[in-house]
Amino acid sequence: MSSSTVITNIATLVTNDPSLGDNSPLGLVQDAAVVIDGDRVVWTGESSKAPATDNRVDAGGRAVLPGFVDSHSHLVFAGDRTQEFNARMSGRSYTAGGIRTTVAATRAASDAELEANLTRYLDEALRQGTTTFETKSGYGLTVEDESRALRLAARHTDEVTYLGAHIVSPDYADDPAAYVALVTGEMLDACAPHARWIDVFCEKGAFDGDQARAILTAGKAKGLHPRIHANQLSHGPGVQLAVELDAASADHCTHLTDADVDALANSATVATLLPGAEFSTRAEWPDARRLLDAGVTVALSTDCNPGSSFTSSLPFCIALAVRDMRMTPDEAVWSATAGGAAALRRTDIGRLTPGALADLTLLDAPSHVHLAYRPGVPLVSGVWRRGVRVV
């Protein structure tokens, strides 16, 4: 039997529903309360009007916001790439080639080792307020290793993405067409039952536009929905392809033409920006302002992976997005919550409104602005996931 809990004395509540709050996109309510029943939010409003409940939690005049939605990560892997990072910080540039190092380590790892790693990064993310995460395969690149990665991921999240097309497997270096045939054939058959999404790294050194189209179209035919690593390292066809195929998200979007921005603005495809990657590869920042001003829906995610962005922290990404991508604190918080939900085509997360899942983050600060204002400070002091307090 479920019992209800009111979290009261919230100085600033982010609902992400303009009609519930101050009419801004964040739907802010001051001196607020939230009532949880079972795994759902059942009431949101001013503290003084909160209905009676079985239990009461005093937020102590601090801020509450929806749990972060990390809609892009690569958490099934073994080993790390410290040397590669060190070399980059001495001037070397990032390329897709480093992925091969993690592929070798991941293939050699046991299931138990991979799952222990995955759990460790998930716990890390949860302590920083992430209550929903997407994660991908992509470091196996054989039928067995890709399907095993997805099987392990599916034990921890519903948002599982098949990324057999991360790079051409080193085993097929001389015959990329045969690898594309494998990814769209036997590997897809083995992986589709464990995944919701299909992704491809559309980039020089990975897959070109025609290969990416063939891979995503094959995935769609098997019931998987597309998302794309697009325009990360250079201009390319990825964003246009994402829009053409109604991908839920085009991820990275660092190098965009005006036509790319227009295409995104006139589509249901979210632009997911991953500032941890630009930070860790010392690359040019994506221009979030340009996208937002054009009316594009923007999500912020970590891209947590051992090569280009080894952070599980959305608070860190929010701070980067505000400082270096010209987002306001309000926009960055929206993008890491409601934006992530949009990138996963979910309406039950990323907002604190009646009927939504009770995923909440309590900050040790009076408002959400402190996430950018106090970078690097561990401000997350409470997390509820599906109605249960876990931090």
Annotated binding residues for N-formimidoyl-L-glutamate, as ranges?
139, 305, 307
Is residue 307 a contact residue for ligand NIG (CB under 6 A)?
A: yes
Closest CB to ligand NIG among 135 and 308?
Answer: 308
Is residue 359 a contact residue for Fe ion (CB under 5 A)?
A: no
Q: Which of 232, 267, 312, 361 binds ligand NIG (CB under 6 A)?
A: 232
Is residue 351 a contact residue for ligand NIG (CB under 6 A)?
A: no
Q: Give the total of residues touching ligand NIG (CB under 6 A).
A: 14
**Residue 68 touches which of Fe ion, ligand NIG, none (Cβ within 5-8 Å per kind):** none
Is residue 320 a contact residue for ligand NIG (CB under 6 A)?
A: no
Nearest distance from C-beta of residue 222 to ligand NIG, angstroms: 22
User: Phi, psi (5° rounding) for residue 378?
Assistant: -75, 85
Name the segment binding Fe ion (CB under 5 A); options: 61-69, 83-91, 264-272, 295-303.
295-303
Is residue 17 a contact residue for Fe ion (CB under 5 A)?
A: no
Neighbouring C-alpha atoms within 13 Å toward the C-beta of 192? 18
Closest CB to Fe ion among 70 and 359?
Answer: 70
**Residue 148 touches which of Fe ion, ligand NIG, none (Cβ within 5-8 Å per kind):** none
List all residues 6 or more positions away from 148 whose beta carbon is below 8 Å from its beta carbon.
Answer: 111, 114, 140
Pick out residues in 89-108 that bind ligand NIG (CB under 6 A): 98-99, 102
Q: How many other β-carbons are positioned within 10 Å of the β-carbon of residue 51?
A: 11
Closest CB to ligand NIG among 277 and 352?
Answer: 277
**Residue 232 touches which of Fe ion, ligand NIG, none (Cβ within 5-8 Å per kind):** ligand NIG
Residue ranges for the binding site for 4-imidazolone-5-propanoate? 81, 139, 166, 232, 308
Nearest distance from C-beta of residue 369 to ligand NIG, angstroms: 28
State the DSSP code for 304: B
Q: Are 179 and 169 in contact (CB under 8 A)?
A: yes
Closest CB to ligand NIG among 196 and 229?
Answer: 229
User: Phi, psi (5° rounding) for residue 36?
Assistant: -115, 135
**Secondary structure of 110-145 as H, E, C letters:** CHHHHHHHHHHHHHHHHHCCEEEECEECCCCCCHHH
Q: Which of 229, 255, 346, 370 binds ligand NIG (CB under 6 A)?
A: 229
CA–CA gap between residue 57 and residue 282 (Å, rounded): 43
Nearest distance from C-beta of residue 165 to ligand NIG, angstroms: 11
Nearest distance from C-beta of residue 188 to ligand NIG, angstroms: 19
Taken as a whole, the chain contains a residue count of 391
Pick out residues in 124-183 that bind ligand NIG (CB under 6 A): none
Closest residue by beta carbon to ligand NIG: 307
Q: Which of 145, 303, 331, 359 binds ligand NIG (CB under 6 A)?
A: 303
CA–CA gap between residue 309 and residue 33 (Å, rounded): 36
Q: Are 270 and 299 in contact (CB under 8 A)?
A: yes
Instruction: Please report the beta strands in the chain, taking only residues with DSSP state E, as ranges in sequence order.
Output: 4-14, 28-37, 40-46, 55-66, 68-70, 130-133, 135-136, 160-165, 197-202, 225-230, 249-252, 270-273, 298-300, 360-363, 380-385, 388-389
Query: Is 49 exposed, middle or buried (CB count within 10 Å of its CB: 0-12, 13-18, 19+)?
Result: exposed
Is residue 303 a contact residue for Fe ion (CB under 5 A)?
A: yes
The token pair at 138 is: 């992509």
Closest CB to ligand NIG among 272 and 297?
Answer: 272
The token pair at 70 is: 């990390």
Tell which residue, 376, 391, 370, 378, has the closest CA to residue 61.
370
CA–CA gap between residue 85 and residue 233 (Å, rounded): 17
Closest CB to ligand NIG among 200 and 356?
Answer: 200
Is residue 254 a contact residue for ligand NIG (CB under 6 A)?
A: no
Q: How many other β-carbons are positioned within 10 Å of the β-carbon of residue 60?
A: 14
The token pair at 145 is: 């290793």
Is residue 278 a contact residue for Fe ion (CB under 5 A)?
A: no
Q: Which residues bind Fe ion (CB under 5 A)?
A: 303
Q: Which residues bind ligand NIG (CB under 6 A)?
A: 74, 98-99, 102, 201, 229, 232, 277, 303, 305-309
